[in-house]
Amino acid sequence: MSKELEHSFISQLEEHQNIVHKICRIYTNDSDAHKDLFQEITIQLWKAYPKFRGDAKFSTWMYRVALNTAITLYRKSKKQPKTQDIDNVVYKVRSEPYDDTQERQLRLIYDAIKQLNDIEKALVFLYLEDKNYCEISETLGISEVNARVKMNRIKTKLKTILNP
């Protein structure tokens, strides 16, 4: 593929990489798996990029490919991933003062989300990203009504996990 295509792809990915990192945070539990999934998503995005026509926003298209990879295409490697190039980069945690109670509450919700299944995680992720139900239904391939119903059920499920 041409250098021009490579350049435009990587520039856009660089700009929107947060989306991929957030998906990795939802679907993986440690930094190795995060790096591994990030890499697979990048490869899948790159493979699908020639078909990206630009009629949708790059970020919208990214949500689809990245979620598809996390839900369907990605298989966790048993071996350590060979991604030395991003070692020490992915998990640079910013240290800043925080409110302990608030942080604990956030951690609890985060842990509850981690207990959901892959599809539920996708719905919650899109909800957290402030996508409307039309976009959620198009990304997942289900009807808008069903996406809304399912989201309400997930909220109830999360509530039960948080307040058993």
Partner 1 sequence: MEELDFFKKEWQKKSDALPKLSYDELYAMILKRSRSTVKWIFIVCLMEFVLGLLITLLYHPQFEKNIKVPPFLEWTSYLLIPVLVYFIYRFFSNYRKISADSSVKGLLDNIIRSRRTVKAYILFNLIYGGIISMYMMIHNFVSSKGGWDEFISHADSKEYLLVIGVTLISTAIVLGFFIGFYALIYGFFMRRLKRNYNELKKIEF
CA dihedral over 109, 81, 17, 136, signed as positive or negative = negative
> Phi/psi at 78 (nearest 5 deg)?
-80, -25
Q: How far is the CB of 138 from partner 1 (least distance, A)?
A: 6
What DSSP state is assigned to residue 81?
Answer: P
Q: How far is the CB of 70 from partner 1 (least distance, A)?
A: 10
> Which residues lie closer than 8 Å to 40 by C-beta, 6 or more apart?
69, 73, 74
Q: How far is the CB of 41 from partner 1 (least distance, A)?
A: 9
Question: Tokens for 53?
Answer: 């026509």
Region for 12 from its dihedrals, namely left if φ exceeds 0, alpha if ψ lies in -120 to 50, beta otherwise: alpha
Q: How far is the CB of 29 from partner 1 (least distance, A)?
A: 15
